[in-house]
């Protein structure tokens, strides 16, 4: 399908510029580009990535998303993620809270585990709608493979910069171990008030997110700033960000920034908003603690943090991830404390 054109992103809303990082140059080992990535990842923790070569895979995933979300709700609900804290499968609009008051989210999404994508036609973690299975080899697998390659390249660069023994971060995100890594396709319906939160303020649970969207709506709350600012989508540019797991492993060197999703602003508001993401998360057994024993750089960094003890969570990636997902679900809500129990490294900013 040809890529449609959209009304322009408005020029009268607060917008936060991100550094643009060129994936070709990173692959070629360009020192300036590597330094720019490092600046972005240790600063806001968000950057644009160009020349990532995943355009076709992303367009195909958007088409599959449309096809899937058009299925009757009853059919989609057969593949629902459930209330026990597993992320894989379908999530209906309104199943999660967007804030402590328990206001409902407005997005529906489908998450496909990287373990299922790579094991297909074997079922590793759970089942998916038949149309998704049909497109697993032609759409999901290619998107997952390219996303994994890109995020592993970024992890390799961070590994060097953090002075970790060769391959340390890559091993903690091994493809062989089951993990929470997943591909996600998100739909937010059109015409909602620009003030209506679609996804509440959060930090991402895992290590690296590789995000694609066409319309505005993503907002960040940069450190030291009290106003939410939009991240403008740029054609052909992915938006990448650091999540909690990598922030913890790196002793806070890499920054997991709080963000949320609003309906598209301005002339884009009447349109359905789609986004596609690949989340790279550590293997399920990885304990989320700063890698102080493997890097003096990280050890030194943690010692200078106001709360060094917060960099040893004592829980595994699976436990971290399960707690956060479970407590976002409105079915599990008892009161504002449930929302609080879903929080990550936001440091009280949400
Ligand atoms: O849709 C977006 O632009 C961002 C989605 C997001 O933050 C998430 O799924 O964690
Ligand atoms: Fe996110």
Protein residue with least CA distance to atom 10, ligand 1: 204
* Positions in the chain whose pLDDT score sits under 50: none
Query: Of all atoms in ligand 1, which is nearest to the CA of residue 186?
Result: 1
Residue 4's pLDDT is 66
Q: What's the pLDDT at 190?
A: 96
pLDDT of residue 207: 98
| CA 204 to centroid of ligand 1, rounded, Å | 9
pLDDT value of residue 276: 98
Q: Candidates 259, 271, 276, 281: which one to mutate for ligand 1, based on the most atoms within 8 Å of Cβ? A: 259
Return the pLDDT at 12: 97
Distances (CA, A) of 24 to 27, 49, 120, 238, 242: 5, 10, 30, 14, 20
pLDDT at 2: 56
Task: Give the CATH fold of the 20-347 domain.
Answer: Jelly Rolls (2.60.120)
Closest C-alpha among 315, 323, 235, 330 to residue 282: 315
3-class DSSP state of 64: helix
Parse the chain into domains and list their residue ranges. 20-347
pLDDT per residue as tens digits for the range 112-149:
999 999 999 999 999 999 999 999 999 999 999 999 99
Q: Please tell me the distance from the alpha carbon of residue 190 to that of residue 104, in angstroms, as a whole number.
A: 16
Distance from residue 345's CA to the centre of ligand 2 (Å)? 13
First to last CA, the chain: 39
pLDDT at position 348 is 75
**pLDDT reported for residue 3:** 58
């Amino acid at each position: 399908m040809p890529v449609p054109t959209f009304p322009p992103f408005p020029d009268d809303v607060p917008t936060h510029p991100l550094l643009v990082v060129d994936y070709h140059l990173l692959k070629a080992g360009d020192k300036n580009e590597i330094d720019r990535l490092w600046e972005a990842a240790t600063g806001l923790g968000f950057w644009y990535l160009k020349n990532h070569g995943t355009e076709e895979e992303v367009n195909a995933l958007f088409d599959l998303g449309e096809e899937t979300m058009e299925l009757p709700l009853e059919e989609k609900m057969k593949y629902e993620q459930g209330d026990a804290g597993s992320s894989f499968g379908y999530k209906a609009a309104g199943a999660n809270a967007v804030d402590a008051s328990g206001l409902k989210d407005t997005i529906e999404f489908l998450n496909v585990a990287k373990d299922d994508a790579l094991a297909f036609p074997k079922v590793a973690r759970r089942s998916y709608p038949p149309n998704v299975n049909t497109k697993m080899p032609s759409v999901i697998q290619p998107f997952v493979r390219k996303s994994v390659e890109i995020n592993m390249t970024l992890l390799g660069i961070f590994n060097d910069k953090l002075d970790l023994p060769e391959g340390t971060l890559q091993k903690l995100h091994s493809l062989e171990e089951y993990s929470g890594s997943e591909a996600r396709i998100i739909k937010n319906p059109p015409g909602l008030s620009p003030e209506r939160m679609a996804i509440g303020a959060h930090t991402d649970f895992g290590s690296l997110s590789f995000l694609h969207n066409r319309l505005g709506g993503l907002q960040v709350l940069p450190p030291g700033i009290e106003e939410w600012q939009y991240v403008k989508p740029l054609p052909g540019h992915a938006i990448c960000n650091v999540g909690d797991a990598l922030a913890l492993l790196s002793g806070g060197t890499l920054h997991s920034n709080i963000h949320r999703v609003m309906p598209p602003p301005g002339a884009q508001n009447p349109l359905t908003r789609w986004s596609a993401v690949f989340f790279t998360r550590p293997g399920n057994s990885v304990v989320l603690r700063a890698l102080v024993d493997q890097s003096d750089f990280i050890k030194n960094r943690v010692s200078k943090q106001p709360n060094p003890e917060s960099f040893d969570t004592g829980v595994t990636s699976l436990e971290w991830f399960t707690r956060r997902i479970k407590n976002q679900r409105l079915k599990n809500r008892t009161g504002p404390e449930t929302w609080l129990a879903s929080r990550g490294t936001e440091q009280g900013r949400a």
